[in-house]
């Protein structure tokens, strides 16, 4: 299960991880958001101890989604050492998402 993160705890929580953090911005009733959460749950199993994954409900949290100018859902944002790095394609399969994260997950592995 992907844990929730809120505006209030965001800065404190992402700053304490020594591994990359991926956050899905979602809202209830969004079928694409629910599908992506299922893919992220599989990714979470594969990347344990190398990637932390959270979800943020944009109907309950406005500060961080506003700061990142998120206008469409679902959206995936990658943070490393507490700093925003990039958006990851919002709708995809676990393998596609993992491929976009390979630079941060497997820095010693050659690309290809």
Per-residue pLDDT of the chain (112 residues), as tens digits, is 999 999 999 999 888 888 999 999 999 999 999 999 999 999 999 998 899 999 999 999 999 999 999 999 999 999 999 999 999 975 678 989 999 998 888 765 444 3
What whole-number distance in Å separates Cα of residue 6 and Cα of residue 42? 22
Count of structural domains, the chain: 1
Domain membership flag for residue 21: no
The answer to the question of residue 80 being in a domain is yes
Q: What domain range is 60 assigned to?
A: 30-103
Q: Is residue 76 assigned to a domain?
A: yes
In a domain, residue 51? The reply is yes
**Is 87:75 a contact under the CB 8 Å cutoff?**
yes
CATH classification at residue 66:
3.40.30.10
24 within 8 A of 76, measured Cβ to Cβ: yes
C-alpha torsion sign, points 45, 6, 83, 25: positive
Rounded CA-CA distance 19/87 in Å is 17
């Amino acid at each position: 299960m992907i844990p929730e993160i809120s505006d209030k705890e965001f800065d404190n929580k992402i700053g304490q991880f020594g591994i990359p953090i991926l956050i899905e911005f979602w809202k209830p009733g969004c079928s694409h958001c629910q599908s992506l959460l299922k893919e992220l749950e599989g990714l979470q199993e594969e990347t344990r101890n190398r990637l932390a994954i959270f979800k943020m409900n944009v109907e309950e949290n406005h500060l961080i989604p506003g700061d990142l100018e998120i206008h469409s859902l679902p959206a995936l944002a990658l943070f490393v050492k507490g700093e925003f790095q990039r958006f990851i394609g919002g709708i995809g399969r676990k393998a596609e998402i993992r491929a976009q994260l390979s630079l941060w997950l497997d820095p010693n592995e050659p690309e290809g």
